């Protein structure tokens, strides 16, 4: 696998994990879907960082 394929695979994994976090009802106080269900709202940035980083395997995430 070349480096661009590896990066694409990592990005896809991160997107899948992020979707799971946003979609899970237990995280609604931290992050939830927006009114249109096409975006998400981070209600608690510190909680988001603490929850998502360990869940993503320690990957660096920059928004």
- Strand runs labelled E in the chain: 31-33, 40-42
Structure-token pair, residue 35: 């009114």
pLDDT tens for residues 1-48? 677 787 788 888 888 888 998 999 999 999 999 999 999 999 999 988
Higher pLDDT among residues 60 and 41, named by residue: 41
| pTM of this structure | 0.67
The DSSP code for 59 is: -
């Amino acid at each position: 696998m070349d480096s661009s394929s590896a990066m694409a695979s990592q990005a896809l994994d991160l997107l899948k994990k992020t979707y799971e976090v946003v979609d899970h009802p237990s995280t609604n106080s931290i992050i939830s879907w927006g009114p249109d269900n096409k975006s998400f709202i981070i209600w608690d940035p510190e909680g988001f960082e603490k929850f998502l980083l360990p869940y993503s395997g320690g990957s660096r995430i920059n928004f």
